[in-house]
Amino acid sequence: MFKIISFLAGYVTVRLHGSGALGALNTLKSEGFNIGSPSVTEDGYVISCSVFRADAVTARLKALSADFEVTERHGIPFFAYRYRARVGLLVGAALAMLIVFGSTRVLWDVRIDCNGEYDAPAAERALASLGVKCGKPIGDIDVYNTELRFLVDNPQFSDIALNIQGTVAVVRLRVRSRPERPEEKTGAYDVVAAEPGIIRGISATEGVPVVKDGDTVDKGDVLISGIMQGAYGEYYIHHACGSVAATVYREFTAVIPLDSEKKSYTGKSETKTSFTVLGRPVHLFLSELSPFEKSDAETSTKPVTVFGLKTPIVKESVTYREYTVSPTRLSEEEAEREARAAFDAFLESEAGGEVTKTEVNCTYSEELDAVVISAVAEVIADIGVETPIKTSPLLTYVRNGDPE
């Protein structure tokens, strides 16, 4: 703290040398001059004093006929005098100091650590709504109430620890662990076919299978029944469950025109940059719209660091890359490759099971001037879905083995 005050007020360094150096030094100390602790050199001593006492110290040394010289001048007053002709620089330096001083009183960063999987953006938004965000005055953050309200609003977390470390809020979260409970299988349910298919295997964990391998079923047919009859004619209703593998078919049709458009980048680009300083945006552009008629936009967001230290400034950039669209014509072979690639993408997202066989037919249509693909895929998929049983009031049922 003493060094900071000395720098703000300004101080000078004086070198004493010669045979009378020690005597002059003792005289200054005995007369109460505040010269700090002197350092010993090869031919004398070095002392320092505030800018306010420098004239008195040098005048007394002259009166003592001591050999001395002022070697260095430090601090803001000398800096300001050196650059007195450059007012803008001084004003900028003063503003920078004010910003640095002010920024130490607000949050620069919020760091979240969690012991399990969680929705990080949602947690950040929840903390921001409670005032834990960049630019928030540190003195306005009530740690206890913030922790309490966060847990009330976010029951997926069992614990939170909020610590303010300098200008950084360190938040440690613990995900609530719930014991896994077995799924309750109650009610009257059948397992029915979600789509037509040929049965290839059935595994019933509850209920009675009513189909066998090789049977052809339609959508809605019962595969595993939840109704069972006892030895004495009574009925039992179960929540039927299980898996039913069946051969199903996926059909795909697409038209690939030979005349199409080609996208080409011109090499021209423009980047628009903005900064978020302590949560407040500062734009370095007049319009955020693309300067090109046709362009792609690439965005990037990253914190600004100084000497490896993160600052409360976030740089956001949007780069627009211009492109042109020109007509082009595909060959039949190129169009067929595109068609087959589209079919492969369809199977990857829509097959819903193991693909065992495919039949693909690509033909050129002169009328459409396009390649038409018609494809069928044979897939082994689980087609069973649980559906409530429509019971009859004329029958007496026993639910899950217990009389009603």
pLDDT tens profile 343-353: 999 999 999 99
Whole-angstrom distance, CA of residue 37 vs CA of residue 25? 11
CA 149 from centre of chain: 23
pLDDT for residue 395: 47
Q: Which amino acid appears at position 376 of this protein?
A: V
Q: 238: closest CA among 117, 95, 83, 400?
A: 400
Tell whether pTM > 0.75. no
pLDDT for residue 40: 84
Contact (CB, 8 A) for 184 and 400 = no
2-80 folds as Alpha-Beta Plaits (3.30.70)
Whole-angstrom distance, CA of residue 91 vs CA of residue 97? 10
Exposure string for 349-385, b = 16+ CB within 10 A, e = fewer: eeebbeeeeeeeebeeeeeeebbbbebebbbbbbbbb
Give the three-state DSSP class for 266: strand
pLDDT for residue 228: 81
pLDDT for residue 363: 95
Strand order in the sheet with 354-365: 216-217, 197-206, 241-257, 370-382, 354-365
pLDDT for residue 346: 94
Give the three-state DSSP class for 65: coil
- Is 109-175 a domain of CATH 3.10.20.310? yes
Segments of the chain with pLDDT less than 70:
1-9, 76-104, 178-186, 278-279, 306-310, 391-404
pLDDT for residue 53: 78
Domain limits, the chain: 2-80, 109-175, 253-259+329-382, 264-328
Q: 48: closest CA among 17, 29, 26, 70?
A: 70
pLDDT for residue 52: 75
